[in-house]
Chains A and B, each alone.
Chain A
């Protein structure tokens, strides 16, 4: 179970768009993820990274290729309940305002996750809230009573509640303040690694991915152009696109160094 938690083989996903025909969002991607591994997936908007994440959850029909999770094929989600083992894939979305139900207390929403857990090791709502540095008393509050960063932590607690073997964060930190991003990203890593789960962390920001991921895959126009250990990709990127992404990260030196390459 340690290796090949998730296996994607030649996965192609696309959409039919009026006037444009068939648009390929994910183009022949193969990826493997082992238990406890933290993979960062980086790319610009429109590169297909969210589509890739959604297809792992069975939210997108595959055009070609296969996705297996612990040897079980991931098929497109239907009206039926997800096959029990696939509940061990949990996702945290970009916008915590949209991913929490405004009319239910956060405690009851986290409890949904606990009940869905596939593993006997169960969390309590209070434990989960303290893991994400919130008060046990916060369980009785509603989402609108929290700030964006707190809400995202609640969404993470809800995902972790189901004791996932694979946690996916799809731009989970993009809507947060710069000073909070690294903190929340590290929180996700810690919770995933401590519970032995793998983490697929999707972001457009290489700087954040660098501090939490073991491996990084760089995606462009549906294709993974570079894949390797973070330090290697960071220090000696081979693909031009990766170089461009790295150059665009602002340097905090106080010297007014402009990011990116001169046009």
Chain B
């Protein structure tokens, strides 16, 4: 239950634009923390900042405390050794996050070999086990295939495999199901929940879809234009939102509307 990652008063600005205006929240292990907001709210930038991937030339202040260390003050060398091994990230578009000309096997073991120094054969063995755990069909032959040979849902599983193969403690998932069909999304949400419990992962799940949030997140943080407008347990935020912005997000979901209120103007 202890928060493995605690974010305090994080501010990010690029030139005169203030992208994040003092965010504070915790990401505990074994739980999914949802970061919700519309496009442009800064939710992706928050995820990137945790990985030390904020845009060049931006100024980042506050503290992101992981395991007793403030990630913001860390020298690049130390950050590099954490990124990918202890803090991993997956993105919205798996076909863009995987290199089209390298085999899947190479891509999901590259950083594993770099961080642990194990040999190719051992890395391949671990890759097969991880792909199997993520229910990718025929893990052995999948290692020799290229990204274009897989569907979007399978690619996202492969991207997740690459993220968790180093056994990270934190997984930042930036809209991982947005580009997928609802049925595939449902499978992936179940898979992420399973991983979260099984590996005691701290997942920061970034999405604009409060419907997905209601299924997966344990706690929800709602962001708007770089500020947190509301945070709380899933049930409280979804069923009794305190902030009018959260309410408007929930009310605008098609699930909340019933068939027949055609008269209501959009």
A residues in contact (CB < 8 Å) with B = 44-46, 147-148, 177-187, 189-190, 204-208, 210-211, 230-231, 234, 244-245, 247-260, 262-263
Contacts and interface: CB of A to CB of B under 8 A. Distances in A.
Contacts of A208: 254
Contacts of A248: 182-183, 185-186
Interface in B186-211: 186-187, 189-190, 193, 208-211
B216 interface: yes
B118 interface: no
A178 B183 CA distance: 17
Which DSSP category, helix, strand, loop or mixed, fits chain B's interface? helix
A258 B238 contact: no
Given A178-B208, A251-B255, 4 more contacts: A45-B181, A178-B252, A179-B208, A189-B262
Interface residues of B, number: 46
A43 B243 CA distance: 35
Contact of B252 (A182, A205, A251, A263): A182
A234 B151 CA distance: 28
B39 A177 contact: yes
A147 B253 CA distance: 20
A183 B264 CA distance: 11
A190 B266 contact: yes
B110 interface: no
B135 interface: yes
Nearest to A253: B214
Given A254-B239, A258-B193, A263 B135 contact: yes
Interface in B109-140: 135
Given A44-B181, A244-B183, A259-B182, A250 B212 contact: yes
Nearest to B37: A177
Nearest to A259: B186
B96 interface: no
A230 B101 CA distance: 44
Contacts of A205: 182, 254
Interface in B216-266: 216-218, 234-239, 248-250, 252-259, 262, 265-266
B215 interface: yes
A40 to B, nearest CB: 12
